[in-house]
Structure 1
Amino acid sequence: MPAINNLGFLLLSAALLSACSSQAENEPLTRDVDTSQVTIEGVPGGVSTQVEKVSAVVSAIDYDKRSFTLEDAQGHQRSFTAPPEMINFPQLKVGDKVNATIAVEQVVFLREPGAAGEDGAAGLVAAPPAGSKPGLLVADTVEVTAVVKVIDTKQRTATLEFADGTRKTVQVRPDVQLKDEYLNRQVVIRLSSALAISVEPQ
């Protein structure tokens, strides 16, 4: 299984968009990215994490439009619109430092035969008390399942079928033995994402 697949990036994008919508013509801000993966030899699946950190300074604010522009140390600028959940937006000032941390964890495993489970999602949005510096915490967990429909031992791939009928073929790690007993077993993909935004006064 890939470390952070397209579903993970979509979830990450969704988390970012739920916190602030940006204008496409702006530059991407510089970010530090740290990734890791934990697997057990011979066991399908594993745990992958990706953490991104962004720090920038508020260079412009339009309180009427609830928009603000961030500038990083390299001079890249990007404009955002504060969501309604950011109730302390009026406290934001030019020169304030904004720190954002985005974390995505993906857990993939084969469900044991007979084990119960359902696709689902859970979320959290939290903001600091009124009157304090702006901030936001957005967290989401999504769990989807697929069924192993095809195993190709020569190409070392497995084809998964999701609940909506779509199929995706994934590469299987070299240390995992492809067994016939894996056919028609459920693969669980659990994605948790969190976005935390904090502001340091100028």
Structure 2
Amino acid sequence: MKRVSLVVLSCLAISASAYSADPETDVSIVRNPDGATVQGVAKVTATIVGIDPATRTVTLKTRAGKVMELEVTNEARNFDQLAIGDVVNAQYRESLTLSLLDKKTQPSRSESDTSERAPAGAKPGGEMGREVTIIADVIAVDPHKKIVTLRGPRGETVDLHVQDPERLKRVKKGDQVKAVYTEAFAISVEPAMTK
């Protein structure tokens, strides 16, 4: 997958530190008659407290006081636009939608990627994402353990825990499930507030 280096490095640096830096998180579950979607969002905001142009390293401090360093590769545009006091916003979103299919089809897997980076002259930033769609066969249903076992297009199996007994009653061996997993990571930089 083509990835924008600033975004990838930022994702690794911020997400690795973010969970210990108390990110704002939001999780929701949406149910419909044919399936369900689980969505989650984690956000981290940090202020630039140091910049080393020689090593292209930026030191960030989160609202929780966590300090982390981020190396920005040469592929990232607009490094010279960064300034002490600029605010870096990072957001990670992911969702998983599962639904029963009406018609039987061949198990399959497809994936698409997206990436975008800030235009020349703007503050650094960008977004990357991917979507994976899988059609899988239901090979077993265990109503006592509330588990549905799926076999994907490559022969791999996965057990899904289904908490809702009414939904579990609708699933039987031989059914097919469509799973759509999406994830996106965005990072933006806002100018320092002038006093």
TM over 0.5: yes
**Count, aligned residues:** 184
RMSD: 2.7
| Structure 2 residue 154 is matched with structure 1 residue 194 | no
TM-score (norm 1): 0.78
Identity over aligned residues, as a percent? 27
- Relative to 1, partners in 2 of residues 1:71 and 1:18: Cα closer, same or farther, differing over 3 Å? closer
Q: Distance in 2 between matches of 1:63 and 1:164?
A: 47
Q: Which runs of 5+ in 2 are unaligned?
A: 1-6
Equivalent runs, 1:96-115 vs 2, <5 Å: 96-114=86-104
Q: Deviations over 1:111-165 (max 9, x none)?
A: 2224577411111111121111111111211112321111112222111112232
| Structure 2 residue 169 is matched with structure 1 residue 174 | no
Equivalent runs, 1:1-202 vs 2, <5 Å: 17=8, 19-22=10-13, 28-40=20-32, 43=33, 45-83=35-73, 86-114=76-104, 118-172=108-162, 173-179=164-170, 182-202=172-192
Give the drift of 1:69. Answer: 2.1
Q: Which runs of 5+ in 1 are unaligned?
A: 1-15
TM-score (norm 2): 0.81
**SS of 2:123 mapped into structure 1:** coil
Give the drift of 1:201. Answer: 1.1
- Relative to 1, partners in 2 of residues 1:25 and 1:150: Cα closer, same or farther, differing over 3 Å? closer
Q: Distance in 2 between matches of 1:185 and 1:50?
A: 27
Equivalent pair of 1:21/1:82 in contact (CA under 8 Å): no
Equivalent pair of 1:109/1:188 in contact (CA under 8 Å): yes
Q: Distance in 2 between matches of 1:25 and 1:37?
A: 25
- What is the identity, as a one-letter code, of the residue corresponding to 1:201? P
